Amino acid sequence: MTPPKSVLFVCMGNICRSPTLEALARAEFARSGLAIEVASAGTHDYHVGQGADPRSVAAAAAHGYSLAAHRARQLETTDFGRFDVILAMDAANLRAIGRVRPQRARADIALFPAWAGIDADEVPDPYYGEADGFERVIELARLGIAAVGRRFGGGGRSGPRGA
């Protein structure tokens, strides 16, 4: 299989799940030798220009990933021509992506867990929960990105600490 050249991760506000996936994928794809451009966006404009949620920043940092430079942005119609694959974190955001998708969009659109081939229906939104929700995002991101790395010929190792 040929890996995509670019992947966009999408959640609702682009401050929790999608920036975490972006940071983790960027590091792990590079580590496994996959030249895949990654970015993230939100379906809503709630947090445009803001940094990642401090709880996401802390969870990512605890696993060796940095969200320090992240600034939230909203999904744009130009993203459908820029990215090969646009991955939603849950069904609600998948529907929202579908509503703004141009008719002649080239990007494939899917749910991240299904595309990555992991056993989860979605990457649950941790925003209104406790720290364990942010850890769950990291866990699903690591499983999914490692599976993608293996599928496209990368090493499949996930985590700066070798975990």
Query: Which residue of the set 53, 79, 90, 125 is catalytic?
Result: 125
> Is 17 a residue of the active site?
yes
CA geometry: angle 8, 13, 19, nearest 5 deg: 45
> Is 16 a residue of the active site?
no
Read off the tokens for 106. 């080239």
The secondary structure of 127-151 as a DSSP string is: TTS-HHHHHHHHHHHHHHHHHHHHH
Query: Which residue of the set 16, 17, 79, 90 is catalytic?
Result: 17
**CA-based end-to-end distance of the chain:** 26
| Inter-residue contact 1 to 151 (CB < 8 Å) | yes
Gap between the Cα atoms of 103 and 114, Å rounded: 23
Read off the tokens for 139. 């866990």
Query: Which residue of the set 11, 53, 55, 79 is catalytic?
Result: 11
Read off the tokens for 80. 């459908």
> Is 119 a residue of the active site?
no
Residue numbers annotated as active site: 11, 17, 125
